[in-house]
Amino acid sequence: MYLSVMKTDKLLLRQIISEDKENIYKGLSHPDVIKFYGVNFHSLEATEEQMIWYRELEENETGIWWAICSTDAQTFYGAGGFNNLNKQHKKAEIGFWLLPEFWGKGIMQEAFPLICNYGFETLGLNRIEGFVDSENSSCKKAIEKLNFKLEGTMRECEIKDGKFLSVDIYSKLKND
C-alpha cells in the first residue's frame, strides 16, 4: 500500500518511522492522551508493540497511519490514520491523537480532511467511522465540527479500569 506525504500550510503528514518510537511512547503513556484512548504503554520497550502494529497495518493492507508533524518535519505533533480497513464493505475506522502541548490549535481540524480525502480517493472508501468514548468531549466537539454524523451510542459496551464505558459511533460517507 503506497503511503504518500500529505501537506497543508501548517502540517506535514508522513510515514511513521522507527525514530518516532520515543514520541509515540510519550503520547501513548501521557495520562491526558490515554484517558479516553484504547491503548497505553508503560515503557519504551513495550511501545515496540505499537510500532509493529503500524507496520503490519500496511503490510496486511488493513490500514495506514501517519505521523502528524510541522511542515519542516522537525516537530512531531501526534498520529492519525485508518485501521480495521474492510475492502469488501469499503469502510475503515479512523483514529487520531496529539501530544497535549499541541491541543486546541485546530490541528485535528486541519489533518482530518487530508486523512479522510486519502481514505475516499486513494483507498476507495465509502464510509469512515470513528468510535469515541462518550465522555471524550474534546474529540466529540472536534469530530462534529468536521461533519461526522453521530449515529448512536453503544451503552456500557466496554470495561476500562474496572468501570463500564459507553462509545459513540460517528461516521462520514463519501457522498455526505
Nearer CB in complex with ligand COA: 9/59: 9
Residue 87 CB, nearest distance to ligand COA (Å)? 24
Residue 106 CB, nearest distance to ligand COA (Å)? 5
One-letter identity of residue 171: S
Nearer CB in complex with ligand COA: 107/124: 107
Q: By beta-carbon distance, which residue lies closest to ligand COA?
A: 104
Residue 113 CB, nearest distance to ligand COA (Å)? 12
Nearer CB in complex with ligand COA: 97/120: 97
Radius of gyration of the chain measured on its C-alpha atoms: 15
Nearer CB in complex with ligand COA: 109/147: 109
Residue 65 CB, nearest distance to ligand COA (Å)? 13
Question: Which residues have a Cβ under 8 Å from the Cβ of 84 and sit 6 or more positions away?
Answer: 62, 63, 92, 93
Q: What is the three-state SS of the chain?
A: CCCCCEECCCEEEEECCHHHHHHHHHHCCCHHHHCCCCCCCCCCCCCHHHHHHHHHHHHCCCCEEEEEEECCCCCEEEEEEEEEEECCCCEEEEEEEECHHHCCCCHHHHHHHHHHHHHHHCCCCCEEEEEEECCCHHHHHHHHHCCCEEEEEEEEEEEECCEEEEEEEEEEECCC
Nearer CB in complex with ligand COA: 41/103: 103
Residue 142 CB, nearest distance to ligand COA (Å)? 4
Kindly list the residues in this chain that would bind ligand COA in the complex (CB under 6 A).
33, 36-37, 96-98, 103-109, 132, 136, 138-139, 141-142
